[in-house]
Structure 1
Amino acid sequence: MGGMGFFELPGMIDPKTHSMNNVYIALIGIVLSFVLGFIATMIFWKEDSSKDKVATGQNDEEKNVSQELIQIPLEGKVLPLSEVKDEVFSKGYIGKGIAIEPTKGEVISPVNGTITTFFPTGHAIGITSDSGVEILIHVGMDTVNLEGKHFKPLVKKGDKVTVGQKLLNFDLEEIKKRRVFSYHTCCCN
């Protein structure tokens, strides 16, 4: 059974005496429940701003990042990230960025900053620029399966780097022979 509503009010009229007393009492109860509910809401309401922050991507840890010029970290043909056959990159789940079909097996630093991550397999580098921009340079698709073969890191986690500094050498021809995707991605957050 559900609660009483306005359509139940005519059913409260006394059929013998046609008295409306029960209807009046019910109307007073309905009005009181609305008024008391409104007052309780006004007294106890607290704005939950954490939901708004999550929805807009804002949080206390978010850094104030200014616009920064990011150099291309590899020589080659620049393509939209949407052309990469890995949805994690092509759909932008990791961040906005570009794909590059390389012509040279060398990765250079696109910004002045610090190496925050260097995967043991050498296929991915995380850099945080001096102004707080986080950049992921991912060399190839499925290159993690090469287990570090054909990659020669030139820096390590924690190193300070400058624009144009060599970070990594890789054997482009060997990677192509193994039919690993040759697209390389650069994503920013």
Structure 2
Amino acid sequence: MATSGRREVARRILRLTDGIEESHEVHEPVFDIKDTPIESLENAVNPLVPFLPDIRKHAVTAKKACKNPPPDGLTLDESASIRLYSMEWVPHDKCLYVVLNDTLRSEDGEKVKPWFLYLKLFRTAFERLPKQHLTELENYQRAVDIGMHSLPSNHPNFQQWKKALESAKEN
């Protein structure tokens, strides 16, 4: 039991510290999804199958786990796209959020293109989330603050994240 508890703590630390080692330079986006159509989650994940072979199965799982209709005003596909991003599975390096974040960090616009449909759905969902969810984001911030207690408050990731939350509160 202690071993699985340690694994869970290690997994959470890995997730919370994802990106700490990366460059903190601000880059211009290498892609634009504004003209990308909004598709169903099933259609949005199809282009991801070559590098996430089980993504269709996980998309179905995410969709089944969502209330229908979602209580937050999102569509079922929008809600499931957020859930899918937050899901973890084995192997960890094939989790959607891990592969997506690595792809976005690559700064290679060609690598991002297969993600356009998913990114459009996910971003639309995120932008439509009601303000009541800000409390949940604030609770998550507290958890991250605890996990990042050894980081100075002037650490670039810490400040960027704090600004993002403050901006979200204003909207």
TM-score scaled by length of structure 2: 0.22
TM-score by length of 1: 0.21
Asked which structure has the greater CA Rg, the reply is 1
**Higher relative contact order, chain-length normalized (CA < 8 Å, sep 6+):** 2
Which has more helix, going by share of residues?
Answer: 2
